[in-house]
Each structure stands twice: as C-alpha cells, then as structure tokens.
Amino acid sequence: MIGQVIRLKVQAGKVEEFEALVSQLMRDVVDHEPGAIYEVRRVRGQERTYLYFISFPDQAAFDRYMTAGYHTQMSPQAVALLEGEPLFEELDNF
C-alpha cells in the first residue's frame, strides 16, 4: 500500500469553492481507482484546516492517480485556494 496524510489550510472565504473541488475529486477517485481509500476531513475547531488520508494498493495505482486528467485539472485550482504550503507525510505499513 502507498499512503499519505496531507494537512492543509484553505484561505478565508474560499472554503466552499475548495470543498466543491475536493468533493468532486473524491467521487472521481471512487469511480476510477479501485482499491483506493481517499478521505478528506475538516479538523474540528479549525474550520479552514483539512486532513487528507489517501491510500492506494500499489505504486502503479498511485502513479495512475497522480497523472489522471481529473486530478491534474483539479489540483492547480485547489492549490490556488490554499493558505501556505500543504504538509505531506508518507505512511508505512506495519
């Protein structure tokens, strides 16, 4: 499994636009990436901070996701709505 946790903060006034983009992305992952887990949650008490938990069955599945049109089209739009840089953490199985 290939997994990541991503923590990010959205600019003030951009939450609805961000959530619309991410909601569509989650639907696209479900439709196109069998075996993937893709969860995004807002941090309680931090209305503009989100955590992503993503997991793919293998490197090939992750690479396919990273180059998929639905992801490459949405990503720059979502990144433009962020405040600061996202924090990526790679996960290992045990």
Per-residue pLDDT band for 37 (boundaries 50, 70, 90) equals very high
Instruction: Compute the average pLDDT of residues 65-89.
Output: 95
pLDDT at position 93 over 90: no
User: Contact at 8 Å (CB) between 42 and 50?
Assistant: yes
Helix (H, G, I), strand (E, B) or coil at 15: helix
Helix (H, G, I), strand (E, B) or coil at 47: coil
> Which pLDDT belongs to residue 23?
95
Q: Record the pTM.
A: 0.90
> Which pLDDT belongs to residue 72?
95
Instruction: Compute the average pLDDT of residues 6-13.
Output: 98
Q: Retrieve residue 93's tokens.
A: 């199985």
